């Protein structure tokens, strides 16, 4: 193992250990299932960290087509769970395709924008069309969290690629079109989430319940937390989705502000290594891929923590490497494996 990877791998391990501990505490019957996901994810990381990235870039178009096919097949034959069709039943495992396509699309966007650096208006709209296709398919599932992530990713890459003026103009025109059509485009539950975000106490027993219980759990943890298996909000079932969307609230209730700071420190190391790559690579594809990894991690981190604290609308976005879920963990495992491979391309003294 190269010395430069040591801190990153330690941060990744710490994040997963804390996540597993929280799942063991709040939902122990799922602990070994999540542990098996972690072990499979570790194998994927080790394998991908040895593969030539040129191979992935050469298959970027294939990855894009496969992503669209996976999302389309999900809509046709996917499992309907609580009104959402997001999973394909593989028998031994339910695959959430909106999670798995994230690294595949990150590779495609990085390769595409590296190839076409100076986008004309025609080229920009072509890229936006390609980027919005998977977003629309995911929105039909519906999976608002993944749709937002995969909307944010290509937009941010375009801004980084120097297309900020064009993106701002397109954004303003889109808003002018969207605002009058908002009532038709947003589903009732999506509009309710926005209203709940503005004032969760207007329906404390209904739409505002999740946010209220989450903020109570976070606040009750205080400085040192209540201790493992002593969180009242999670163990008395006041806190919904305590092992997935609101696992951060479960964690802070039991480990307190001090535990939150430890977790934030681990994530800051992961973010920093992505940014290190941005400063070191001369090849544009590698720079954009490293940026994509950072953007996906950071976006989901900020949104998940924000909705647990009640400062962002509830969108169903998982906390990377921490929330329960095999598809999410395997998706991030792919990104991490590629990240470790990228670090091998940087001289040790540069890390």
103 or 235: which leads in pLDDT:
103
Judged against a pLDDT cut of 70, whether residue 8 lies above it is answered with: yes
Buried b (16+ CB within 10 A) or exposed e, 263-298: beebbebbbebbebbeebbeeebbbbbbbbbbbbbb
Q: pLDDT (tens digit, 9 = 90+) per residue, 39-88? A: 999 999 999 988 888 899 999 999 999 999 999 999 998 877 777 788 88
**In sequence order, which residues have a C-beta less than 8 Å from that of residue 173 and are 6 or more positions away?**
none
How many whole angstroms separate alpha carbon 251 and alpha carbon 232?
12
Residue of 125, 122, 112, 107 whose CA lies nearest to 161: 112
Judged against a pLDDT cut of 90, whether residue 174 lies above it is answered with: no
- The answer to whether the beta carbons of residues 310 and 215 sit under 8 Å apart is yes
| pTM score of the predicted model | 0.89
**Residue range of the domain that includes 267:** 3-350
CA–CA distances in Å: residue 212 to residues 191, 303, 322: 18, 17, 22
- The answer to whether the beta carbons of residues 308 and 240 sit under 8 Å apart is no
Pair of tokens at residue 40: 């499979």
The pLDDT value recorded for residue 185 is 59
Give percent of the chain with pLDDT exceeding 70.
86
User: Starting at the edge strand that comes first in sequence, how are the strands of the sheet with 79-81 ordered?
Assistant: 79-81, 84-89, 94-96
Q: What phi and psi, each to the nearest 5 degrees, are found at residue 176?
A: -65, -30
The pLDDT value recorded for residue 180 is 65
Pair of tokens at residue 312: 């962002």
**In sequence order, which residues have a C-beta less than 8 Å from that of residue 38 and are 6 or more positions away?**
16, 20, 329
Mean pLDDT to the nearest integer, 8-33:
94
The pLDDT value recorded for residue 182 is 58
Pair of tokens at residue 139: 């929105």
The pLDDT value recorded for residue 351 is 46
Q: What phi and psi, each to the nearest 5 degrees, are found at residue 286?
A: -70, -40
- The answer to whether the beta carbons of residues 96 and 327 sit under 8 Å apart is yes
Give Cα 90 distance to the centre of its chain: 23
203 or 154: which leads in pLDDT:
154
Judged against a pLDDT cut of 70, whether residue 195 lies above it is answered with: no
Total number of domains in the chain: 1
């Amino acid at each position: 193992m190269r010395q430069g990877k040591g801190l990153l791998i330690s941060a990744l391990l710490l994040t997963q250990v804390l996540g597993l501990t929280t799942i063991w505490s709040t939902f122990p019957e799922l602990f070994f299932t999540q542990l098996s996901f972690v072990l499979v994810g570790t194998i994927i990381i080790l394998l991908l960290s040895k593969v030539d990235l040129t191979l992935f870039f050469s298959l970027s178009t294939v990855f894009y087509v496969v992503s669209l096919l996976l999302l389309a097949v999900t809509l046709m034959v996917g499992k309907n769970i609580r009104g959402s069709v997001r999973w394909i039943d593989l028998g031994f495992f339910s695959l959430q395709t909106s999670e798995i396509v994230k690294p595949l699309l990150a590779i495609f966007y990085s390769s595409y924008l590296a190839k076409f650096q100076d986008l004309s208006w025609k080229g920009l709209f072509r890229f936006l069309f390609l980027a919005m296709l998977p977003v629309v398919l995911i929105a039909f599932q519906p999976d608002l969290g993944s749709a937002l992530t995969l909307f944010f990713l290509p937009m941010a890459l375009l801004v980084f690629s120097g297309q900020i003026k064009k993106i701002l103009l397109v954004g303003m025109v889109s808003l002018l079109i969207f605002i009058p059509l908002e009532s038709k485009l947003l589903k009732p539950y999506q509009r309710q989430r926005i209203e709940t975000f503005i004032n969760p106490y207007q329906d404390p027993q209904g739409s505002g319940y999740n946010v209220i219980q989450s903020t109570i759990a976070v606040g009750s943890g205080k400085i040192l937390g209540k201790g493992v298996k002593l969180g009242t909000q999670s163990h008395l079932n006041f806190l919904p989705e305590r092992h997935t969307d609101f696992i951060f609230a479960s964690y802070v209730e039991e480990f307190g502000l001090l535990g939150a700071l430890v977790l934030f420190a681990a994530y800051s190391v992961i973010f920093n290594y992505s940014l290190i790559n941005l400063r070191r690579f001369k090849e544009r594809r590698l720079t954009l891929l490293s940026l994509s990894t950072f953007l996906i991690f950071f976006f989901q981190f900020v949104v998940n923590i924000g909705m647990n604290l009640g400062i962002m609308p509830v969108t169903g976005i998982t906390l990377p490497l921490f929330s329960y879920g095999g598809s999410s963990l395997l998706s991030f495992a792919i990104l991490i494996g590629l990240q470790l491979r990228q670090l091998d391309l940087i001289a040790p003294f540069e890390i």
